[in-house]
Amino acid sequence: MQEIPLSEATRLIYPRVTVLVTSAGLDRKPNAAPYSWIAPVSFSPPMLYLGIQKRETQTVKNIRATGEFVVNVVTKDWAAQAVACEAKIPDKVERSGLRFRESKKVKAPTAEKAEIALECKLHEIIETGKADHYLVIGEIVHAEKDEKIKNSEIVMHLLGADFISPGKKFTLERKK
Ligand SMILES: Cc1cc2nc3c(=O)[nH]c(=O)nc-3n(C[C@H](O)[C@H](O)[C@H](O)COP(=O)(O)O)c2cc1C
């Protein structure tokens, strides 16, 4: 085993599912940004968290203002467009060519191409002390999945510009 510098330690938690977080400001202007620090935190009620860096991203501003966001799982055919929404320019969303549709339970938009979409209402933003990311916890108030989605199309983030999709499925016996 090779020792890894602590500055690289969190990068060893990979691959992580890549999502596009869609939100809107009070002016209803849609915003979208890719995130991969995401995980579930509660079955009942269903909740998830996002780890979002402590510069005030547009995503955090919108979530603070409206209390709503949508987590769209990214698949291969629109992954480049989703990743383009990382850009720190005001018209990044228009430039990406992504389109949005109305969500069912929140005013934040859903990405039209999303095959899994989780509509969330803000539960809590944990400021996390000396950590450099907020924990944004959302309660999932509506969940949608296109049954035709293929696992092999889901885009996982490795590191930097590297991504991978799930390979062959296998099964393990679990003790109850
Ligand atoms: C694949 C990918 C995953 C990312 N994951 C995260 C993440 O989990 N947390 C984070 O704070 N930023 C993440 N980023 C960077 C944000 O997308 C970036 O800060 C973006 O400019 C935020 O946009 P916003 O200001 O519209 O919210 C990721 C970028 C990419 C390309």
H/E/C letters for each residue in 108-176? CCEECCCCEEEEEEEEEEECCCCCCEEEEEEEEEEEEECCCCCHHHECEEEECCEEECCCCCCCCCCCC
List Cβ neighbours of 130 (8 Å cut-off, separation of 6 or more): none
CA–CA separation, 100 and 154 (whole Å): 19
Strand (E) or helix (H) holding 68: strand 68-73
Distance 52 CA to ligand 1 centre (A): 7
- Nearest residue (CA) to ligand 1, atom 18: 86
Look at the block and give the residue holding tokens 């510009």.
161
- Please check whether residue 106 is in contact with residue 118, taking contact to mean a CB–CB distance below 8 angstroms: no
Kindly report the backbone phi and psi dihedral angles of residue 161, in degrees, each rounded to the nearest multiple of 5, phi listed first: -95, 15
CATH of 15-164, one of 1.20.1050.10, 3.40.50.2300, 2.60.120.10, 2.30.110.10: 2.30.110.10
pLDDT of residue 176: 86
Q: Tell me, using a 6 A CB cutoff, whether residue 118 lines ligand 1.
A: no
Q: Rounded to two decimals, what is the model's pTM?
A: 0.98
41 three-class SS: strand
Amino acid in position 127:
E
Please identify, by atom number, the ligand 1 atom nearest to the C-alpha of residue 31.
Answer: 26
pLDDT for res 75: 98
H-type alpha helices, the chain: 58-66, 79-84, 92-96
Mean pLDDT split into 10-residue runs, the chain, 176 residues: 97 98 96 98 98 96 98 98 96 97 98 98 98 98 98 97 97 95
Query: Ligand 1 pocket: which of 17, 21, 22, 53 to mutate (most atoms <8 Å of CB)?
Result: 53
d(C-alpha 142, C-alpha 100), whole Å: 17
| Predicted local confidence at residue 59, as pLDDT | 98
Distance from the CA of 172 to the center of ligand 1, in angstroms? 34
Which residues are 24's β-sheet partners?
30
